[in-house]
Amino acid sequence: MVKSDSELMIAELSALYEISSLLFLDSEEDILRESLEKAVRLFGVRYYLLFYVKEGDIEVISSWGFRNPENFNLKKLKPNQFYHSFNQVTNLKIFMEQSSPIDQRQLRIYNLFINSLENSLIKARNILMREKAERALRESEIMYRTIFENTGTGTLILEEDGTILLVNSEFERLSGYVKEEVQKKKNWKEFLSPEEKEKIMDYHKLRRNDPSAVPQNYEFQFQDKNKNLRDFYINVALIPGTSKSLVSLLDISPLKKTERELKISLKEKKMLLKEIHHRVKNNLMVISSLLNIQSRKINDAETRDIFKESQNRAKAMALIHERLYRSSDLKKINFGEYVRSLSTDIFHTYMSHDNRLDLKLQVEDIMLDIDTIVPLGLILNELVSNCLKHAFPSGKEGEIKVDFHKKGDQFVLKVIDDGIGFPNDLDYKNTSSLGLQLIYSLADQIDATIIFHRGPGTEFDILFREMAIEKE
């Protein structure tokens, strides 16, 4: 029975209505199921295939009639077959076959069906993408809020003008305010000490022009709700793409209190140690004076020399403690200055009214540890004293040279004279001389090497490394 034009129009309008209903579906699964049902119902299709083609492989998405799409000749369609490759949904294709040839009216409805199906799929996918983005955004916000709340520091976000936009619970605890009292109501400068307010707000402004021009981390004093000032460590960073700042605050008041107490304690200990050095120096000078007084009562020249040597040893140690007392460093002193002072004192002790000998000093100013200097000072005292006592007998003229310098990773102390030198039959390592025995004993204390050069004149080279360096 042939339908009238009015019946065909009504049927076409009904088909259009059914096709347009696809646009009201949000799920891609619902759209595919509904589109298949409509194709069967509206077009009476025997075969329906919706499929993807990816790299030559066919993936069936939806089907009716179970016919293999590879058996279709898509390049040469029959009058009762319809094939379309979607434009906006990449690689998606559709094939339909009905029992009778497709006329122009049906073809128009087929195309409307295809457009509606494509638009529905695009809308559903956009909805899905938006939902995923919103879900990811919510998850990201939860994650960052969790981080913001659990940094272990007082954390806040500042607007460009210093208004506090957001704070965490730790900031509430540190400041004494609740969030509602602070957020969008207070300015950062209200929490700064009066002395530092201008400087820190200048930092805040300059950071937006040149972040490298101001420190990112520094110490400052934080003023809480009760106007109490406490020491804080601050870290400030600009939030990319905005004019806002992220500020982290760490309360270091207990550390600063401990630091102040340690400084006071250290100052007291330093004063005490200075006083100890001063008293040791005084005691050694008393001993030296007593030895000097006692030596005046001794007529035997050899015994008197023994007292004089002991007196010089006491002076050598006293000079070290005197320099430590006057130094800002209670562990090290300038050994170059010490060599000059000690050598000159010993020289004048023995040659106060005699100009036949010259003393030449070539020494570098090097800071050495007291544990190294005490044995070295006594060694120097013995070597210079021996030169003055034994190297120039019977009014002989000459020169004594003291040299101190660093060579590579070692220090070298030399005492050289152009006097008569050691007798050839004297074993300087096995001698009864207390002075030489003392020199080798003291050298062992600092792991020093002694090199002896015999005639003309005499030269002792003391090679050593600083004991403190070896321990490190």
pLDDT at 294: 74
pLDDT at 472: 36
Percent of the chain topping pLDDT 90: 29
Q: Of 3-17, 426-440, 452-466, where does the model show the most confidence?
A: 452-466
Residue 212: predicted pLDDT: 87
DSSP E strand stretches across 291-378: 332-334, 357-363, 367-369
Q: Which CATH number fits domain 5-131: 3.30.450.40, 3.40.80.10, 3.90.1300.10, 3.40.50.720?
A: 3.30.450.40
Q: How far apart are CA 392 and CA 399, in angstroms?
A: 9
> Does position 225 have pLDDT exceeding 80, yes or no?
yes
At residue 290 the predicted structure's pLDDT band, cuts being 50, 70 and 90, is: confident
Q: CA 284, CA 455: separation in Å to the nearest integer?
A: 36
Q: Binning pLDDT at 50, 70 and 90, where does residue 401 land?
A: very high
CATH class of 343-472: alpha beta
Q: Is 176 left (phi over 0), alpha (psi -120 to 50) or beta?
A: left
Question: Is 388's pLDDT higher than 70?
Answer: yes
The pLDDT tens digits for 451-468 are: 988 878 899 999 998 764
Confidence of residue 471 (pLDDT cuts 50, 70, 90): very low
Q: What is the reported pLDDT for 470?
A: 40
**Over the stretch 105-125, which tens digit does the pLDDT of each residue have?**
889 888 989 888 999 999 988
The sign of the CA dihedral 11, 13, 17, 22 is positive
pTM of the model: 0.46
**What would the mean pLDDT of 206-233 be, rounded to a whole number?**
91
pLDDT at 3: 52
Summarised one tens digit per residue, pLDDT across range 324-344 is 666 666 678 888 888 898 888
pLDDT at residue number 219: 93
- Say which range, 10-19, 83-92, 137-146, 244-253, has the weakest mean pLDDT: 10-19
Per-residue pLDDT, averaged over 391-397, amounts to 85
Residues 6+ away with beta carbon under 8 Å from 348: none
Q: Is-cis flag, bond preceding 211, omega within 30?
A: no
Identify the pLDDT of residue 7: 58
Which of the four pLDDT bands, split at 50, 70 and 90, describes residue 415?
Answer: very high
The pLDDT score that the predictor gives to residue 327 is 66
DSSP letter assigned to residue 3: P
Q: What are the φ and ψ backbone dihedral angles of 433, each rounded to 5 degrees? A: -65, 125
pLDDT of residue 463: 94
Residue 167 has pLDDT above 60, yes or no: yes
Query: In the predicted model, is pLDDT for residue 376 greater than 90?
Result: no
DSSP conformation class of 4: P
Tokens 């659990």 identify what position? 150
Q: Where are the beta strands (DSSP E) in 418-457?
A: 449-454
The mean predicted confidence, pLDDT, of the chain is: 84
Q: Is the pLDDT confidence value at 208 over 60?
A: yes
**Distance between CA 77 and CA 73 in Å, rounded?**
6
- φ, ψ at 36 (rounded to 5°): -65, -45
Query: What topology does CATH give the domain 154-251?
Result: Beta-Lactamase (3.30.450)
pLDDT at 164 over 60: yes
DSSP-derived 3-state class of residue 466 = coil
